[in-house]
Amino acid sequence: MDRAAVRPQVGRLCGSAALFLGIELCAPGSDTVAGRITAPGDDMGDTDNFTSLRSSRLTAGLTDEQVERLAGISLCRRLEDNEKLFQEGETDDTLCVITSGRLAVTRNVGGGGEVTLHVLQAGDLAGEMGFVGGRPHSASLRAMGRPTVCTFTRAEFEALVDSDPWLVYRVMKNIVQVGHDILHRMNAQFVEMSNYITHQHGRY
């Protein structure tokens, strides 16, 4: 059965570190087919879900067979440049794996403006807290260029517990590790910016 026919709007999600978000990955008119990254204007060729996920930090420690199982519940696609995936405040249970390119983490600052808090890159995850605990997303995610992402829902992932609990354990461990690394980068950037402001303008 064509997964696109079953879930034409699949792919809501995301966020990251302390700013785990929510994103809408399937834009109106996109063509998502199980096992492929496809969308209008895509030139992904033979790139499939397995190839995208195998090189991801999410699948570190998994066998090829286990990655195949994870690929079987995943939907992947290439985003349009500047595509706004989701606005802060929404809740969902989808995990996003960024397999190439970059996405900006942004927040609304009022008056129609927004500020970029962080830039996620290939290997990062988004939507961890919504995926694990169903928390609302505190920021938005916007494509920079044309990144590729793979997504799957909590319900789909939990269905693997009985058949392969070790896969589930490894993936959850990797989610924690990647989230920790992202938070570490964000904290380092905050310290760097604070030091720059203090150096330029003094403490007060």
Higher-confidence residue: 112 or 66? 66
Per-residue pLDDT tens over the stretch 116-142 = 988 999 988 988 888 988 888 778 889
pTM above 0.75, yes or no: no
Q: Is 109 helix (H, G, I), strand (E, B) or coil?
A: strand
Per-residue pLDDT tens over the stretch 4-26 = 433 333 333 333 333 333 333 33
Between the CA of residue 190 and those of 32, 47, 68, 125, 194, what are the distances in Å?
A: 37, 36, 38, 20, 6
Fill in the DSSP letter of residue 138: S
Within the chain, what is the greatest distance between any pair of CA atoms? 63
Q: Give me the CATH code for the 3-201 domain, please.
A: 2.60.120.10
Q: How many residues does the chain have?
A: 204
